[in-house]
Structure 1
Amino acid sequence: MGKNNTRMLMRFSALVIVLTVAIMVEETKSVRVCNIETNDLERCRPAVTGNNPPPPVNGCCVVLRAANLRCFCQFKSYATNNGIDPAKAKALIPKCGIRNVIVPPGC
């Protein structure tokens, strides 16, 4: 069970990083980071903000599946500073059917 918890924590951390980068970039500019355009991450914003967010749209899940989640580890510290609710970000992983993401320990 400990191994599964660690794996889920690593996936969650990577997802938080992906969403953080999207929020850090101005809406009118898009930067290619970790295999995706940061503006594309805006599709996930509704699912990680507010008191009762809707489930992620398919476009959000498509973007998350295309991202190199390991790459986003370097942006980890920016998540909560940019309005990302970590619990809601963590919930996107199973909602989008993302499996077998290998993220370095501590990410």
Structure 2
Amino acid sequence: MEWKLRSVALTVAVVLAVAACTMEMGAVAAQSLCKMSQEGVEACKPCISTVKPAEQPSDACCAALKQADLPCLCYYKNSNLLPYLGIDPKRAMQLPAKCSMVLPQQC
């Protein structure tokens, strides 16, 4: 169960990072990345940041994560980009549990 949590959390973090980078470049396509809206991505960034991270995700972050396509996010789980994008992988791995998520079996 712990490895599933880590896989989903890491995947979520990678997708959030990719979406954040894409949005910073002005692309509109990030709004539909694995069903995560731009607002949802922004809401989750504070709790997985490498700089002064928030302890708990906001209600908006958890709501966005619960609407996301988690199997889609799983495709990003092996990316090594997280630290380079300012995302703490350990904090990212905790995000689904902090949002009381049920993990998909296919992750």
Which TM-score bucket, shorter chain as reference? 0.7 to 0.9
TM superposition score normalised by structure 1: 0.75
The match for 1:79 among 74, 77, 82 is 82
Residues 81, 39 of structure 1: CA spacing in aligned structure 2 closer, same or farther, 3 A cutoff? farther
The number of residue pairs the alignment matches comes to 101
The match for 2:9 among 12, 15, 20 is 12
Residues 7, 69 of structure 1: CA spacing in aligned structure 2 closer, same or farther, 3 A cutoff? same
1:41-66 Cα shifts (integer Å, max 9, x gaps): 11011111123524111000011111
Residues 73, 11 of structure 1: CA spacing in aligned structure 2 closer, same or farther, 3 A cutoff? closer
Match for residue 44 of structure 1?
Answer: 44
Match for residue 21 of structure 1?
Answer: 18
TM superposition score normalised by structure 2: 0.75
Rounded Cα–Cα distance in structure 2 between residues aligned with 1:34 and 1:44? 14
Amino acid at match of 1:45: K
Moved over 4 A (4+): none
- Unpaired runs of 5+ in structure 1? none
1:12–1:93 Cα contact (<8 Å) kept: yes
SS in structure 1 of the partner of residue 47 of structure 2:
helix
- Overall identity of the aligned pairs, in %: 27
2:41–2:61 Cα contact (<8 Å) kept: yes
CA RMSD after TM alignment: 2.1
- Unpaired runs of 5+ in structure 2? none
1:69–1:103 Cα contact (<8 Å) kept: no
Amino acid at match of 2:68: A
